Amino acid sequence: MSDTDIKYMMQAIKLASCGLYTSYPNPAVGCVIVRDGKVLGKGYHHKAGLPHAEVMALTDANFNVEGATAYVTLEPCSHYGRTPPCAVKLVEMKVKRVVVATGDPNPKVYGRGFQILRDAGIEVVEHVLEKEAFFQNRAFMKAITGPYPYVSAKVGMSLDAKTALANGQSKWITNSKSRAKVQQLRALCDCIITSSNTVIADDPRMNVRYEELSGKIIKKIDKEYIRQPLKVVLDTHEKVDINRYQIFKQGKVILACGSEDKSKFFSEEIVNDTITKVYFPIVDNGVDLDALLRYLGKLQIRHAFVEAGSILTSAFINQGHVDELYAFVGAKALGQDARDAFTLKPIENLDNALSFELHKVKKFDSDVMLHYILKDHYKQITENQL
């Protein structure tokens, strides 16, 4: 791995980050094409159905790339989908060398892109900034190889780990900069999961308000392709009034309801043009989270974002479904009678405690964001074994 390869791969990874907000359900990919120390073209994948990163870079280079090196963050595709295979296109354009950060675990690709290139006599260099590229697409990497989406959870809490006063008042524990960061996290996900309790208590919109994002993020997003995540409201006992709350007035919503009747499991009831009711088994007096996540996986949801109260968030954690946690800590203390941020199951031995790896700390004036990844999952991510 040369310094030159690292330099241009870093550029490709930075380009790929622009597609994180719009490329769903595809991974975010960036490409830089270089010849004799000069960048000929660069590009990233904007949206499913549009040209992939390699084709965007080839177009930017006016397809004059013979003898050049292509730096790509993910193994070039080898199958015909909505667009032709990028590996074949690179061969046709007579590039001399292809440097790739990480392989594509998608069963439709998995090594075939590399094979096409090598069979054509093109030098292929793998594993350049592999961990960085893999982490960038960690949600896709998990979802494409298993039945579950990648799950992030967010909690906003006080210094004494409370989420609301005893009377339910919670606006606002964290400041406006923290809340703007939450908008960014929503924009990165494919669906937002919340509970009917949260809907009834807070009447949230649970949408992405792009005007509240930071200028740095806005510059990255291709506004032509911005999207609103699917909203999933867990309403086990069907108590929420869909005509009353804001969350049901904009965008697609799945009402996840519980049922004891096996014949109703996973049945879908169209409520109106935007709301679909789906029935799931009941476990521990709530919707079966394992069944819910498998259902979302079949909908090609790659990245789910849990934004709810302590009961639902804790249920996801207790059942081992949270891959990463964002804890926003506000500079307030709410007192012992306030509502706890977590209601986790008891343990009798510290060896059995959930263990997290601190990935990032970010300060928003007096607030702090702690980004944790479940320790076992962090190891899997950094070793590319999700």
Catalytic residues: 54
Angle at 107 between CA 102 and CA 113, to 5 degrees: 50
Q: Which residue has the tokens 């061969």?
A: 91
β-partners of residue 195 are 234
DSSP string computed for 302-357: -EEEE---HHHHHHHHHTT--SEEEEEE-S----TTSEES--PPP-S-GGGS--EE
Cβ density class 103-118: b for 16+ within 10 Å, e for less: bbbbeebeebbbebbe
Contacts of range 1-5, beta carbons closer than 8 Å, 24 or more positions apart: 1/125, 1/127, 1/128, 5/71, 5/99, 5/125, 5/128
**How do beta strands 275-283 and 38-44 pair?**
unpaired
Strand pairing of 268-270 and 275-283?
Answer: antiparallel
Q: Give Cα 33 to chain centroid, integer Å.
A: 27
In a 10 Å sphere around its CB, with 0-12 CB exposed, 13-18 middle and 19+ buried, how is residue 309 labelled? buried
Q: Rg (Cα) of the chain, in Å, rounded? A: 22
Q: Which helix (H) or strand (E) holds 187?
A: helix 176-188
Look up residue 335 and give its two tokens: 């007192």
Cα 285 from Cα 311, distance rounded (Å): 12
| Residues contacting residue 159 through CB under 8 Å, at least 6 positions apart | 329, 330, 331, 332, 333
> Using an 8 Å Cβ cutoff, are 54 and 258 in contact?
no
